[in-house]
Amino acid sequence: MSLTPEIIALLTLDAIFLFLGLIALFASGRIALWWDNQKSTPLQYTLSKQSYLVSTIIKYIFMLKLPLFLFFIYTCDKLSSIIAGAMCASGVVNSVDFGLYLTLFKLLNLYLFGFWLLLHYTDINNEKLPYTRLKFALFVLFSLPLFAEIGLEIAFFVGLNISKIVSCCGTLFSATSSSYISLFFVVDELLWVGGFYGFFALSIVAFRLKNTPVMIFANSMFLIFSIISLIVFFSPYVYELPTHRCPFCLLQKEYYYVGYLLYTLLFAGTFYGIGGGALALLSKKAQPSFMKASICLNMLYLAIISSYPLIYYVKNGVWL
């Protein structure tokens, strides 16, 4: 294992998250089992104080995890300069067998913790505190992927071997790759692009019809098709190179760090669509502000990423 300042910072925060997460898990279990807002017993008074403590811990974890996701990608990108064969974060992530699963766990936890906070703010803004027991029961469930992420991240940095030659992103994200990513290229790229625009249109229809389940479905599929179509179709236009399809290189200086903007819009837009929809179903109350935010952010992402092939065609008169 190589210890750079970035890795030390991430591992230190993992240890803090593990410690605080275990405290929150223990207290959440007690609250989920014994909470009764109608009682005025010493136990209920204690649980009320503990619920405030646990909520603060969870908010603290989420507020740190949000920038730490980008910091993790930045760290992997920086490590690519000392690992033979790696040209960006993708080579470092894939240098360990479970690197991709670690990245997916990080994304999953952002969505789960974001939804937990939406539920929490809905709960504390109601004097009856109707979702207190549910939200702490959910945290007990959500703590499993949190601890899995912490364990995988520690194992990832411990298992990172800088003397091992890894594949560059040009090899990983190509039709000739032997990995699962090559399966994306088996399907005609027009299908992925068609799905990308189609599911965005479906989300607008769902918004106009106020159909929450369809809104959740459309945003979930829009997220999947957006990432795949970015790899298969849009990224070569950003790089202006037909063989370059890496979704990590978008975060580099050479491309004006446009990936940070694109991923923030995409993840925030789909989160408001999925999380806001789930909250609407749970509370049986429409969440138009979340739905509008979802439509606006997704539309902005769609407009920016669509501009790349259009501008390229106008400038060069051909498609890649």
Tokens of 301: 């992402």
How many angstroms from the chain centroid is the CA of residue 89?
16
Average pLDDT over residues 19-39: 88
DSSP state of 164: S
Q: Looking at the predicted structure, is the pLDDT value of residue 163 above 80?
A: no
CA–CA gap between residue 28 and residue 199 (Å, rounded): 37
**Which tops the pLDDT comparison, 186 or 295?**
295
Instruction: Tally the C-alpha atoms within 13 A of residue 67's C-alpha that lie toward its C-beta.
Output: 5
**pLDDT category, 265, cuts 50, 70, 90?**
very high
- pLDDT grade for 175, boundaries at 50, 70 and 90: low
pLDDT digits (tens, 9 = 90+) for 240-250: 888 888 888 88
Separation CA 94–CA 195 (nearest Å): 27
Give whole-number Cα distances, 306 to 28, 66, 197, 233, 310, in Å. 45, 26, 10, 10, 7
Closest CA to 167 of 248, 82, 100, 86: 86
Maximum separation of any 2 CA atoms in the chain, in Å: 75
Give residue 65's pLDDT: 82
Q: How far is it, in rounded angstroms, from Cα 101 to Cα 124? A: 34
187 phi and psi angles, rounded to 5 deg: -80, 145
Under 8 Å between Cβ of 235 and 88: no
Mean pLDDT is highest, among 30-44, 87-101, 159-173, for 30-44
* DSSP calls for 4-17: -HHHHHHHHHHHHH
60 near 20, Cβ under 8 Å?
yes
Mean pLDDT for 220-229 is: 93
Q: Taking the CB of residue 161, how many other CB atoms lie within 10 A of it?
A: 12
Closest CA to 206 of 302, 300, 290, 107: 290
> What is the predicted pLDDT for the residue at 179?
65
**pLDDT averaged over the chain?**
86
Q: Which pLDDT score, from 0 to 100, does residue 100 have?
A: 83
In the numeric block, which tokens belong to residue 236? Answer: 């070569």
Average of per-residue pLDDT across 271-295: 88
For residues 228 and 302, what is the distance between their CA atoms, to the nearest angstrom?
A: 14
Query: Which helix or strand (DSSP H or E) is residue 207 part of?
Result: helix 189-209
Scan for tokens 């068609």, then name that residue: 194
Assign 141 a pLDDT band (cuts: 50, 70, 90): very high
> What average pLDDT does the segment 87-108 reach?
82
What lies within 8 Å, CB to CB, of 201 at 6+ separation is none
Helices (H) and strands (E) in the chain, counts: 12, 0
Which DSSP string do the residues of 240-254 spell out, in sequence order?
A: T-TT---SSGGGSGG
- Residue 260, amino acid: Y
Q: Among the listed ranges 79-88, 139-148, 187-196, which one has the minimum average pLDDT value?
A: 79-88
In percent, the amount of the chain with pLDDT more than 70 equals: 95
Instruction: Give pLDDT, residue 317.
Output: 84
- pLDDT tens across 52-94, in order? 888 998 888 888 888 888 888 888 888 877 777 777 777 788 7
Residue 242: what pLDDT? 83
What pLDDT shows up at residue 204?
94
Distance from C-alpha of 7 to C-alpha of 153, rounded to nearest angstrom: 10
Report whether 129 contacts 119 (CB < 8 A).
Answer: no
Return the structure tokens found at 185: 């290229």
Q: Check: CB of residue 205 under 8 Å from CB of residue 214.
A: yes
